[in-house]
Chains A and B, each alone.
Chain A
């Protein structure tokens, strides 16, 4: 059948199983929006307040579902507003397809109104990108974009479509969506060797990251931990894969991980790293990280092997495939001495003290978790609140802790929470945990949550300062609080009302629990402004470039 470029975009989205996209209209995408009007029974378009929010929403949607998130924006500023969202997805290997309109092909390169070279701008933050100059190439280019986004190490792909291409007509034929099956070419001999090392090890540790989530390999990972009695620590990207109560769960690893997880890696004689990349927030001092251990790196991206840390063994492939291949060679073992040593160290780990007269972060997280239930999806922004959420929430489910790990994007949370809500079709409660600093960056998306009636509960950990930067200034800059105490007078509860949302303010744990109880009954967005002390710190902390020897516990 003969279709316009704009209709082809809608058709390919449907063909790829996309039923929800996030975006913002504009001049260069008028034809596409006209088609979306026509296809509105098959594709739900969620309009955000800002393109950045739309990009984060597509990302949140992808994280919670595992499907490819789709974002659409106009040319020029519409496209540049996507950049932070695309970079966030790129750093965390989240599958996303970004479609941008552009000025007509005859206007490209002439500094036309709302023209920007978005493929040039996004080259280093996408797996790949395209400008489609001929409508005949449009369908296959979009199909390629979906394939690339989901294959191997996942990530964002951008397709830039000039306006005349969306108007041009060509023959279109529906094709079945590709399956993007990644086949790990397992080297049995290498797998056997690694299993042998594991069978010999006295103090093995698993350290795992987002690759395990992307692969859906949680079950196999837990099987390995159980079979060979191996404790496991996770990175920020993999909270929830191993249940909070699991006796082998060491908790979060790295800069704000526990003493016990960091010590275990330090003292291990074998570290198996699954779907993770030894980044500087985990392997801060690359010479000292896991210094007593033989290192095994399992990752789908061969370029990660030996990039940050040199390893003794590497198995390139999908984490689940490698685990399945490895399990038969692994002996059932107990490491009683090692596990006993770990239990002993757990007692020495940092323990925050309760105080019911104020709101202490760990107590807030406990109450929040208890009240929101195990099925809730938690989305954070970036800063102290993010680390407290990582440390003190009882993570029990995979794909249920959405956070900007690699890029560390303040302002990620609200957009991502909106995307997550659509991703789970409102069947799960979405909790957005933020700080007053982060929330000031993207609170505008409240209007979106109100428009669509999304029951997102935003918990603002309001310490009136940029807490994480301030904490560094306290520790390393002799308390010179440069630009971290902005003296803002924002009354979040009233701002919430202004947007048409509900707002609460609380200063004690009891008040928080009351507000939370109310919030859980609401059908629309709620903000809970929680006042906390500005000197609350995220502890433990391993300073940048240091090792567990230098861990700060107070």
Chain B
């Protein structure tokens, strides 16, 4: 099982996310993360979905998604020619003693401190998912009060190299 990132272009209709996600649920495809975003065309939305799938699963995921009436295009984003980004917001308990070591970590990872209160601080970090994982691992020595990850959003580098699959 590998982690695969799929980019799905769909009609920007009410309920289209439900159609895609319920199909994944019904067929037993495992979603790690899913984001929906606008594209340059107001009629089209982009769903970026990260799944755990072997080759056979991936083939089925692509074909079953392509079969939906509102799917315009679907393609697999390969690591070597794509850019993956994720945004993290994390609230960490921080008193006078811990504030400065946390700031040091934030500095190394280029995370922004966007809020500071008496007992806690909130940091923002954008980067590849692995970088965010590593950052959170370092922070695990501190008390994380709340956190929120957006899930992966991704684009291919360069021109239109990926051909549409199965539509």
- Per the 8 Å Cβ criterion, residues 276-304 of A in contact with B are 301-303
Q: Are A123 and B66 in contact (CB under 8 A)?
A: no
Q: Bound complex: CA of A307 vs CA of B58, how far in Å?
A: 11
Q: A310 within 8 Å of B by Cβ? A: yes
* CB within 8 Å for A123 and B67 given contacts A306-B59, A307-B60, A310-B56: no
Q: B107 within 8 Å of A by Cβ? A: no
Q: Which B residues touch A124, using CB under 8 A?
A: 22-23, 26
Q: Are A128 and B69 in contact (CB under 8 A)?
A: yes
Number of A interface residues, CB 8 Å?
Answer: 14
Partner of B69, one of A127, A303, A306, A310: A127
* CB within 8 Å for A119 and B15 given contacts A301-B67, A303-B66, A303-B67: yes
Q: A96 within 8 Å of B by Cβ? A: no
Q: A148 within 8 Å of B by Cβ? A: yes
Q: Are A123 and B18 in contact (CB under 8 A)?
A: yes
Q: Bound complex: CA of A164 vs CA of B22, how far in Å?
A: 29
Q: Bound complex: CA of A124 vs CA of B19, how far in Å?
A: 8
Q: B81 within 8 Å of A by Cβ? A: no
Q: B164 within 8 Å of A by Cβ? A: no
Q: Bound complex: CA of A553 vs CA of B96, how far in Å?
A: 82
Q: Bound complex: CA of A291 vs CA of B1, how far in Å?
A: 26
Q: A120 within 8 Å of B by Cβ? A: yes
Q: Which A residues touch B56, using CB under 8 A?
A: 306, 310
Q: How far is the CB of A108 from chain B (nearest CB, A)?
A: 12
Chain A CB within 10 Å, residue with most, of B60, B63, B68? B63
* CB within 8 Å for A120 and B59 given contacts A148-B69, A302-B166, A303-B67: no
Q: Bound complex: CA of A441 vs CA of B15, how far in Å?
A: 34
Q: How far is the CB of B107 from chain A (nearest CB, A)?
A: 49
Q: Which B residues touch A306, using CB under 8 A?
A: 56, 59-60
Q: Bound complex: CA of A119 vs CA of B66, how far in Å?
A: 20
Q: How far is the CB of A307 from chain B (nearest CB, A)?
A: 6
Q: How far is the CB of B22 from chain A (nearest CB, A)?
A: 6
Q: Which A residues touch B18, using CB under 8 A?
A: 120, 123
Partner of B64, one of A119, A120, A148, A303: A303
Q: Bound complex: CA of A292 vs CA of B166, how far in Å?
A: 30
Q: How many A-B residue pairs have CB under 8 A?
A: 31
The interface bits of chain B over 30-74 (1 if a CB of A lies within 8 angstroms of the residue's CB, else 0) are 000000000000000000000000001001100110111110000
Q: Bound complex: CA of A307 vs CA of B18, how far in Å?
A: 23
Q: Which B residues touch A123, using CB under 8 A?
A: 18-19, 22
Q: Bound complex: CA of A306 vs CA of B60, how far in Å?
A: 8
Who on chain A is nearest to B55 by CB? A306
Q: Bound complex: CA of A288 vs CA of B68, how far in Å?
A: 32
Q: Bound complex: CA of A306 vs CA of B166, how far in Å?
A: 14
Q: Are A303 and B23 in contact (CB under 8 A)?
A: no
Who on chain A is nearest to B14 by CB? A131
Q: Bound complex: CA of A120 vs CA of B59, how far in Å?
A: 26
Who on chain B is nearest to A119 by CB? B15
Q: How far is the CB of B74 from chain A (nearest CB, A)?
A: 12
Q: Are A303 and B63 in contact (CB under 8 A)?
A: yes
* CB within 8 Å for A302 and B69 given contacts A123-B18, A124-B26: no
Q: Which A residues touch B69, using CB under 8 A?
A: 127-128, 148
Q: Bound complex: CA of A120 vs CA of B18, how far in Å?
A: 9
Q: Bound complex: CA of A220 vs CA of B126, how far in Å?
A: 60
Q: Bound complex: CA of A303 vs CA of B18, how far in Å?
A: 20
Q: Bound complex: CA of A302 vs CA of B166, how far in Å?
A: 8
Chain B CB within 10 Å, residue with most, of A120, A301, A303, A307? A303
The interface bits of chain B over 144-161 (1 if a CB of A lies within 8 angstroms of the residue's CB, else 0) are 000000000000000000
- Per the 8 Å Cβ criterion, residues 86-128 of B in contact with A are none
Q: Which B residues touch A310, using CB under 8 A?
A: 56
Q: Bound complex: CA of A302 vs CA of B69, how far in Å?
A: 14
Q: Bound complex: CA of A124 vs CA of B70, how far in Å?
A: 14
Q: Bound complex: CA of A303 vs CA of B29, how far in Å?
A: 15
Who on chain B is nearest to A157 by CB? B69
Q: Which B residues touch A119, using CB under 8 A?
A: 15
Q: Bound complex: CA of A306 vs CA of B57, how far in Å?
A: 10
Instruction: Contacts A120-B18, A303-B66, A306-B60 known; list 6 others, CB within 8 Å.
Output: A119-B15, A123-B19, A128-B68, A303-B60, A307-B60, A310-B56
A-B contact pairs, 8 of them (CB 8 A): A128-B68, A148-B69, A303-B60, A303-B66, A303-B67, A306-B59, A306-B60, A310-B56
- Lowest 9 CB-CB distances: which A-B pairs, in order? A303-B63, A128-B69, A303-B67, A303-B64, A124-B26, A302-B63, A302-B166, A123-B22, A306-B59
